[in-house]
């Protein structure tokens, strides 16, 4: 049996800080009390009691002159202010991450937002958070939140702010976040789940998936320890929640080959170490247990036949083969070329000594007492089983497109050849299917004929589902002003249609540019990636009006940010009139050179000096911001040149 200890087991930053603050206070020789248990672990509390640290439940119980330590869960504003007014030395051991939540709900209330707290109502941390605002709503489940939101439909436009208990699960938080965005129009959302908690929970889930049994160590009153056990049970049937090593039961681990250990944020390192050590001792005890003689005899005379699927233990990895103990009179071995379908892998990359593996019997030699085995063949059979299951359950599989042929493309899925008809490739009719070759692809298996080794798949089925999911996501989160990175799908005389990730919106020609344009093609082309924002939308008709031109793109804004009166600019003569000439300084920004400002002498008409298309240096002599008019002068520059001479 192997034992794996989770990397993120035990004290988190906030708990470790709180424990250190108590130890430091106790070392100073003053009378020390904590307002409530410093953390949710009775071993730690008892340890501090032995050091003379007491526990009080209300501020009134605090002895005069004593050091009062606020526990890591924090307290409400009223209790905090009460302690500050008393004759005590106050030490605040509130977790900094919890402190941040207190600040968020205070600020929300100042903005006239209703704080919504996701967490356990009776948990000290949640009660403390609620204590930093005059009114809040607390929800333990997404269903509670949704029922309340529907009942309060008249408050749909009410400003709200949502935070979470630091030890909540990410899955619970994401569900609540989705509901809030759907039911409210004016919200602020702050993901306040502690990252250490998030890492601990994710690691526990991964470990539980890989192990046959899980040991969760921690105080049964600890919220995050309870959640750890719940998460482990979602992935592993054999989960044991213990407070300390003495509670371990040997019977729970009989026949178990891999055990994982994790621990809550309030579990001291010495308890985790003791549990890990005890589990290591159990491995020795379990190995020493005698097998039933009748079972051993039956195993020794067990026969093997070609085509059997058997389980064995890797005993050694030689120079040409891997030795396998099958528990029979036969010596099992796997030639190197039968270990894996991937020739680039070494046998030690695939199997390790002590691994229990399932193999396929290729040949049995009773005279020599040997049995040739293959892991590669069994893996191949399992892949076909997986393909069959994927077809039946309509699940998504991943592969790589290897070639294009007359009717479509071919993909490799774990060594199995999958044909994808052109109509299911996701490429438009007449498009370039060769562009898929060499690229990974997600697909659904639509047909399997195992006897003929024929498999048909569909990339289009996956992209259609993804597009549908993206469609629903966009419509659940869309709001005026929201920005999207989109792709121009098509152009019309009146605008451009842009795909913003599963949904098409339309940018009217008037919203493409600040300049007057006749055709959208003057600004964008099909396939361009552009940033757009929502101007308006109709959820019933599923129509979205998008904007592309921004205030920053406004030519007048660009002009005023770049030029001022007195500056010299390069301009292009765009039109000649009897009273002067119009010159383009920037695309979309023209200035007037009055006839009196064209030359340093009197002229009858602008054509005597200027021509359309000519580039000239001009001086900006006046800017009328209200009417967006600019006065330019060539004469002023000529005068300056004369003065310089």
pLDDT tens digits, 170-222: 889 999 999 999 888 899 999 888 777 777 888 889 899 989 999 999 888 88
Whether the Cβ atoms of residue 51 and residue 45 lie closer than 8 Å to each other: no
pLDDT at residue 300 in the model:
43
3-state secondary structure of 385: helix
Whether the Cβ atoms of residue 158 and residue 186 lie closer than 8 Å to each other: yes
The CB density around residue 593, as the number of other CB atoms within 10 Å, is 27
3-state secondary structure of 399: strand
The Cα 572–Cα 584 span in angstroms is 5
DSSP symbols for 234-288: HH-S-EEEESSGGG--GGGGTT-SEEEEEE-TT--HHHHHHHHHHHHHHHHHHHH
3-state secondary structure of 327: coil
Mean pLDDT calculated for residue range 337-358: 83
Range 321-358 burial, b when 16+ CB lie within 10 A, else e: bbbbebbbebebbbeeebbbeeeeeebeebbeeeeebe
The Cα 330–Cα 316 span in angstroms is 15
The Cα 124–Cα 577 span in angstroms is 80
HEC assignment per residue over 89-115: EEEECCCHHHHHHHHHHHHHHHCCCEE
Q: 283 falls in which pLDDT band (50, 70, 90)?
A: low
HEC assignment per residue over 165-207: CCCCCHHHHHHHHHHHHHHCCCEEECCCCCHHHHHHHHHHHHH
Whether the Cβ atoms of residue 278 and residue 292 lie closer than 8 Å to each other: no
HEC assignment per residue over 39-52: CCCHHHHHHHHHCC
HEC assignment per residue over 581-638: EEEEEECCEEEEEEHHHCCCCCCCCHHHCCCCCCEEEEEEEEEECCCCEEEEECHHHH
pLDDT at residue 367 in the model:
65
Inter-axis angle of helices 96-110 and 13-27, nearest 10:
110
Whether the Cβ atoms of residue 21 and residue 33 lie closer than 8 Å to each other: no
Q: 299 falls in which pLDDT band (50, 70, 90)?
A: very low
Range 378-402 burial, b when 16+ CB lie within 10 A, else e: bbbeeebebbeebbeeeeebebebe
**Residue 545 CB contacts under 8 Å (≥ 6 apart), including other chains:** 505, 506, 508, 534, 535, 536, 537
User: CA of 320: how far to CAs of 315, 330, 373, 514, 563, in Å?
Assistant: 14, 18, 13, 74, 79
Pair of tokens at residue 573: 């003569």
Q: 288 falls in which pLDDT band (50, 70, 90)?
A: very low
pLDDT digits (tens, 9 = 90+) for 8-22: 787 776 787 888 888
DSSP H helices in 289-374: 293-300, 347-350
Catalytic residues: 125
3-state secondary structure of 425: coil
The Cα 174–Cα 189 span in angstroms is 11
Q: C-alpha angle 76/79/85, rounded to 5°?
A: 140
Mean pLDDT calculated for residue range 478-488: 89
Whether the Cβ atoms of residue 166 and residue 98 lie closer than 8 Å to each other: yes
Q: 236 falls in which pLDDT band (50, 70, 90)?
A: very high
Q: Is the predicted pLDDT of residue 342 greater than 80, yes or no?
A: no
**Residue 517 CB contacts under 8 Å (≥ 6 apart), including other chains:** 509, 523
Looking only at the bridges linking them, the beta strands covering 629-633 and 589-594 are parallel
User: CA of 339: how far to CAs of 343, 347, 372, in Å?
Assistant: 9, 6, 12
pLDDT at residue 56 in the model:
93
pLDDT digits (tens, 9 = 90+) for 516-529: 778 888 888 888 88
Q: How far does Cα 501 stand from its chain's mean position?
A: 18
DSSP H helices in 4-152: 13-27, 42-50, 77-84, 96-110, 124-130, 142-151
Looking only at the bridges linking them, the beta strands covering 67-70 and 408-413 are unpaired
Mean pLDDT calculated for residue range 572-576: 93
Pair of tokens at residue 414: 């774990």
Pair of tokens at residue 218: 């921690």
**What is the value of pTM for the model shown?**
0.42
Q: 235 falls in which pLDDT band (50, 70, 90)?
A: very high
Q: Is the predicted pLDDT of residue 493 greater than 80, yes or no?
A: yes
The Cα 81–Cα 61 span in angstroms is 15
Q: Is the predicted pLDDT of residue 233 greater than 70, yes or no?
A: yes
Mean pLDDT calculated for residue range 449-454: 85
Whether the Cβ atoms of residue 53 and residue 66 lie closer than 8 Å to each other: no
Q: Is the predicted pLDDT of residue 332 greater than 80, yes or no?
A: yes
User: CA of 422: how far to CAs of 429, 430, 592, 608, in Å?
Assistant: 8, 10, 60, 67
What is the average pLDDT score of the chain?
Answer: 85
Q: 645 falls in which pLDDT band (50, 70, 90)?
A: low
pLDDT at residue 97 in the model:
82
The CB density around residue 617, as the number of other CB atoms within 10 Å, is 12
pLDDT digits (tens, 9 = 90+) for 350-400: 888 878 888 889 888 876 667 899 988 888 778 888 888 889 888 899 999
Q: C-alpha angle 434/438/442, rounded to 5°?
A: 95
The Cα 418–Cα 241 span in angstroms is 46
Q: Is the predicted pLDDT of residue 298 greater than 60, yes or no?
A: no
Q: Is the predicted pLDDT of residue 284 greater than 60, yes or no?
A: no
Whether the Cβ atoms of residue 469 and residue 502 lie closer than 8 Å to each other: yes
Closest CA to 358 of 405, 324, 385, 399: 324
Radius of gyration of the chain, Cα coordinates, nearest whole angstrom: 37
Whether the Cβ atoms of residue 32 and residue 45 lie closer than 8 Å to each other: no
Pair of tokens at residue 613: 């298309």
């Amino acid at each position: 049996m192997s034992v794996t200890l989770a990397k993120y087991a035990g004290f988190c930053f906030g708990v470790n800080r709180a424990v250190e603050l108590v130890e430091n206070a106790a070392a100073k020789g003053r009378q020390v009390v904590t307002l409530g248990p410093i953390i949710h672990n009775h071993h730690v509390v008892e340890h501090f009691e032995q050091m003379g640290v007491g526990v009080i439940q209300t501020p009134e119980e605090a002895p005069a002159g004593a050091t009062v330590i606020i526990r890591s869960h924090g307290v409400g504003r009223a209790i905090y202010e009460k302690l500050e007014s008393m004759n005590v030395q106050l030490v605040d051991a509130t977790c900094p991450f919890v402190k941040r939540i207190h600040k968020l709900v205070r600020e929300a209330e100042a903005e006239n937002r209703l704080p919504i707290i996701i967490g356990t109502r009776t948990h000290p941390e949640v009660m403390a958070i609620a204590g930093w605002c005059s009114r809040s709503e607390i929800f333990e489940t997404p269903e509670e939140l949704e029922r309340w939101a529907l009942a309060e439909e008249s408050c749909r436009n009410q400003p709200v702010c949502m935070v979470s208990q630091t030890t909540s699960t990410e899955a619970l938080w994401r569900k609540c976040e989705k509901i809030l965005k759907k039911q409210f129009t004016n919200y602020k959302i702050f993901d306040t789940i502690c990252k250490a908690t998030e890492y601990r929970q994710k690691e526990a889930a991964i470990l539980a998936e890989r192990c046959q049994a899980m040991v969760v160590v921690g105080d049964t009153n600890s919220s995050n320890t309870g959640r750890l056990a719940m998460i482990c049970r979602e992935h592993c049937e054999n989960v044991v929640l213990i407070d300390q090593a003495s509670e371990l039961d040997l019977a729970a681990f009989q026949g178990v080959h891999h055990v994982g250990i994790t621990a809550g944020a309030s579990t001291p390192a010495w308890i985790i170490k003791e549990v890990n050590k005890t589990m290591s001792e159990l491995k020795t005890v379990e190995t020493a247990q005698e097998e039933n003689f009748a079972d051993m005899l039956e195993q020794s005379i067990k026969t093997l036949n070609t085509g059997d699927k058997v389980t064995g233990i890797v005993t050694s990895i030689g120079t040409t083969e891997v030795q396998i103990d099958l528990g029979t009179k036969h010596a099992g071995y796997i030639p190197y070329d039968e270990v894996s379908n991937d020739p680039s892998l070494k046998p030690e990359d695939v199997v390790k000594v002590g691994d229990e593996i399932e193999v396929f019997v290729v040949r049995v030699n009773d005279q020599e007492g040997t049995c040739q085995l293959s892991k590669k063949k069994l893996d191949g059979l399992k892949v076909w089983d997986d393909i069959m299951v994927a077809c039946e359950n309509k699940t998504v599989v991943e592969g790589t497109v290897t070639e294009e042929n007359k009717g479509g493309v071919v993909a490799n899925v774990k060594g199995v050849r999958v044909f994808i008809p052109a109509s299911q490739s996701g490429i438009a009719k007449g498009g370039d299917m060769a562009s898929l070759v060499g690229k990974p692809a997600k697909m659904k298996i639509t047909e399997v004929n195992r006897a003929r080794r024929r498999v048909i798949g569909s990339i289009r089925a996956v992209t259609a589902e993804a597009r549908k999911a993206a469609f629903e996501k966009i419509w659940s989160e869309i709001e005026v002003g929201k920005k999207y990175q989109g792709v121009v799908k098509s152009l019309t005389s009146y605008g451009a249609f842009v795909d913003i990730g599963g949904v098409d919106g339309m940018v009217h020609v008037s919203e493409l540019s600040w300049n007057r344009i006749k055709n959208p093609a003057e600004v964008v082309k099909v396939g361009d990636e552009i940033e757009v924002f929502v101007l308006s939308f109709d959820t019933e008709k599923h129509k979205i009006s998008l904007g592309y031109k921004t205030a920053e793109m406004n030519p007048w804004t660009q002009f005023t940010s770049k030029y001022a009166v007195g500056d010299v600019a390069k301009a292009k003569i765009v039109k000649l009139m009897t009273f002067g000439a119009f010159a383009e300084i920037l695309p979309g920004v023209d200035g007037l050179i009055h006839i009196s400002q064209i030359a340093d002498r009197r002229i009858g008409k602008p054509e005597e000096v200027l021509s359309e298309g000519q580039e000239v240096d001009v001086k900006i002599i006046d800017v009328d911001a209200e009417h967006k008019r600019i006065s330019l002068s060539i004469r002023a520059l000529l005068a300056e040149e004369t003065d310089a001479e």
